[in-house]
């Protein structure tokens, strides 16, 4: 049986998955380009702006459905969570933008010693977390969502390792600041991937978990 609400929910889901695509691209190219030294600032800025607009659209649509249909149970959990997830996807875009901005503004790798190893490792993990979070979203897969916690812990460990090491690193403050900022943004992206995981578990099971 098709309910009036279903048409709206389908539309909302489509909007969110589209955001997922855009966000995934933003994160991926900002990290990859940082590694290869390519400036993608403008492209990422475009993607990030798109996500800001789409986030507003998702919120509008979600509140419209709440006002019209007064959803309850799983319908309510989905709509409530989609508002949060949409915000997390927007943050993906914003931190991707931050990374590409730092790259454009500060990066100067010739003078940095071994600056990239940790970022490369974190970057790969973060890209995979973003992909997993979006995949879990597609199917409301709470098992997959729970897997995010492992990678999240690894990313956190790398983050703290960088903070510890950086105080002793004999490199110029420019390299240090660049890397520290990027590492911090990566850590934030990983957190938002985990938030999405929490939302998906809530949709699927009603359980309010903190995966951190």
Partner 1 sequence: MPVKIETKDLTVSFGDVDAIKNVSMEIFTNRVTAIIGPSGCGKSTLIKSFNRMNDLVSNVKITGQVLLDGENIYGTNYDVVTLRKKVGMIFQKPNPFPKSIYDNVAYGPRIHGIHKKEILDKIVEENLKKAALWHEVSDRLNSSAMDLSGGQQQRLCIARALAVEPEVILMDEPCSALDPIATAKIEGLIRTLSRDYTIVVVTHNMQQAARVSDYTAFLYLGKLIEYGLTKDVFENPQNDLTEKYLTGKFG
Instruction: Give 195: exposed, middle or buried? Use CB within 10 Å, 0-12, 13-18, 19+.
Output: buried
Pick the closer one to partner 1 by CB: 36 or 208: 208
Alpha helices in 106-172, H assignment, sequence order: 117-139, 142-166
Stretch of 1-9, 16-24, 107-115, 159-167 lying at the interface with partner 1 (CB under 8 A): 1-9
Distance CA 47, CA 45 (A): 5
* Residue 7 within binding range of partner 1, rule CB under 8 A: no
Distance CA 57, CA 53 (A): 6
Question: Given candidates 63, 64, 68, 74, which one binds partner 1 under the rule CB under 8 A?
Answer: 74
Pick the closer one to partner 1 by CB: 71 or 197: 71
Stretch of 65-73, 83-91, 136-144, 160-168 lying at the interface with partner 1 (CB under 8 A): 65-73
Shortest Cβ 212–partner 1 spacing (Å): 22
Distance CA 212, CA 123 (A): 19
* Residue 37 within binding range of partner 1, rule CB under 8 A: no
């Amino acid at each position: 049986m098709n309910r009036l609400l279903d048409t709206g929910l389908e539309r909302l889901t489509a909007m969110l998955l589209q955001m997922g695509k855009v966000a995934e691209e933003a994160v991926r190219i900002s990290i990859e380009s940082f590694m290869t030294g390519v400036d993608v600032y403008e492209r990422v800025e475009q993607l990030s702006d798109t996500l800001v607009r789409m986030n507003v659209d998702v919120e509008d649509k979600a509140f419209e459905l709440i006002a019209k249909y007064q959803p309850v149970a799983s319908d309510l959990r989905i709509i409530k969570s989609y508002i949060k997830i949409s915000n997390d996807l927007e943050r993906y875009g914003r931190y991707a933008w931050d990374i590409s901005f730092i790259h454009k503004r500060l990066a100067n790798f010739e003078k940095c010693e071994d600056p990239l190893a940790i970022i490369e490792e974190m970057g790969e993990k973060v890209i995979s977390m973003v992909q997993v979070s979006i995949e879990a979203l597609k199917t409301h897969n709470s098992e997959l969502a729970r897997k995010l916690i492992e990678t999240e812990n690894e990313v956190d460990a790398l983050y703290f390792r960088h903070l510890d090491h950086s105080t002793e690193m004999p490199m110029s403050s420019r390299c240090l600041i660049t890397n520290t900022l990027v590492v911090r943004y990566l850590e934030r992206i990983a957190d938002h991937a985990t938030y999405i995981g929490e939302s998906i578990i809530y949709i699927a099971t009603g359980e309010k978990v903190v995966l951190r």
